[in-house]
Structure 1
Amino acid sequence: MAGAGPNGRPSSVRGATRAEDVDDGYPGRDLGLPETGPGSVASAPLRLGQFVLDLLVGGLVAAAFSFPAPPELSLVVWAVLVTVPVAVIGQTPAMVVTGMRVLRVDGAERVGPWALARTVSLFFVIPAAIMDRDGRGLHDRVSRTVVVRTR
């Protein structure tokens, strides 16, 4: 005989629950973050757009220093533009524009030296693509951070 699941919806006859009965959470719930609005976990598409925008900014800054030759140090400039601001204020230039911020999950005020570990992980791209249920890539987990919306 079928019983009611935790949401008042019927569960299967053998006691197994439906997927939506098991996963009633949202990204960031386990971290104590709100589901939507400021402080909620930034979505993957928003983060991808921010990443591309930071790459473009890094390329433009590198081009400004090397003009008229093509920028050869774009990745180095990008790494500095991403690491230093995140370590000090928790935001890259593109994060300011897109309304995001990097926070430490342990509540520390600054990301600090963990920003370097985060940036080094991003060089490999794949760690950023492997996300957990809280919307954190491996680079976020290594650096003990989460990217949240500011607006």
Structure 2
Amino acid sequence: MVDRRDVGSWLAGPEAVTGVTGYPGERLERPETGPGSLARPGRRFASVLIDWIICLVIARGFFGTQTLEHPAGSLIPVAVLLVENILLVGTAGFTVGQRVLGVHVERVVGGGPIGLLRGVVRAVLLVLVIPPLTMGWDVDRRGLHDLISGSVVARN
């Protein structure tokens, strides 16, 4: 039999199920607000949107509008997004959109850029649109791409 506590637990969020209280990032020894705190989902989504627009412009500039109209050509902006994330996040720690919105990607342990290998893993999962589907599972609001690559998106 289902009782009110079973139904209410999912409404109360992950804290009701995990028993973890506090703010996102507390387990990772991050501040609640300000520099070094975890970036909120809205800021993260907006940075991906900026990056996506930039990748569309780049793809259109290099390959023209006719290429993008074909089904296989529609993957070109995705490939540009993949390369952008691998190179920029892996080396500098941020994409153009992340830089504009004042966030960066760093390793959970020790900080700093995540490196190219972790950047590849993170970027592949990102372009497969898996992170938005998994961000609610973690109490720190980290998507699967962050969990597997050992990274966090923090505020500058």
The TM-score with structure 2 as length reference comes to: 0.77
Higher helix proportion (structure 1 or 2): 2
Q: Is the 8 A contact 1:128 1:139 kept in 2?
A: no
Which structure is higher in RCO with an 8 Å CA cutoff and minimum separation 6?
2
Q: Identify the residue that residue 33 of structure 1 maps to in structure 2.
A: 30
CA distance in 2 between partners of 1:98 and 1:121 (Å):
22
Residue type of the partner of 2:53? Answer: L
Larger radius of gyration: 1
CA distance in 1 between partners of 2:103 and 2:78 (Å):
22
Shift of 1:110: 2.4
Residue type of the partner of 1:84? Answer: L
For the aligned residue pairs, the C-alpha RMSD in angstroms reads: 1.8
Alignment deviations for residues 12-61 of structure 1 (CA, whole Å, 9 cap, x no partner): xxxxxxx6xx6541011111110001111001111111111111111111
Shift of 1:108: 5.0
CA distance in 2 between partners of 1:82 and 1:55 (Å):
11
CA distance in 2 between partners of 1:126 and 1:63 (Å):
25
The TM-score with structure 1 as length reference comes to: 0.79
Q: Is the 8 A contact 1:59 1:74 kept in 2?
A: yes
Residue type of the partner of 1:128? Answer: P
Against the structure 1 CA distance between its residues 141 and 23, is the aligned structure 2 distance closer, same or farther, given a 3 Å change threshold?
Answer: closer
CA distance in 2 between partners of 1:86 and 1:92 (Å):
6
Flag as ranges the 4+ runs of structure 1 deviating above 6 A: none
Q: Is the 8 A contact 2:125 2:131 kept in 1?
A: yes
Shift of 1:117: 0.2
CA distance in 2 between partners of 1:142 and 1:23 (Å):
21
Q: Identify the residue that residue 9 of structure 2 maps to in structure 1.
A: none
CA distance in 1 between partners of 2:133 and 2:50 (Å):
17
Structure 1, unmatched stretches of 5+, are 1-18
Q: Is the 8 A contact 1:54 1:82 kept in 2?
A: no
1:141 to 136, 140, 147: 147
Shift of 1:126: 2.8
Shift of 1:82: 1.3
Alignment deviations for residues 114-147 of structure 1 (CA, whole Å, 9 cap, x no partner): 0100011112213333121112111100100000
How many pairs are equivalent? 131
Q: Identify the residue that residue 10 of structure 2 maps to in structure 1.
A: none
1:56 to 53, 56, 66: 53
Against the structure 1 CA distance between its residues 108 and 148, is the aligned structure 2 distance closer, same or farther, given a 3 Å change threshold?
Answer: closer
CA distance in 2 between partners of 1:143 and 1:82 (Å):
13
Structure 2, unmatched stretches of 5+, are 1-15
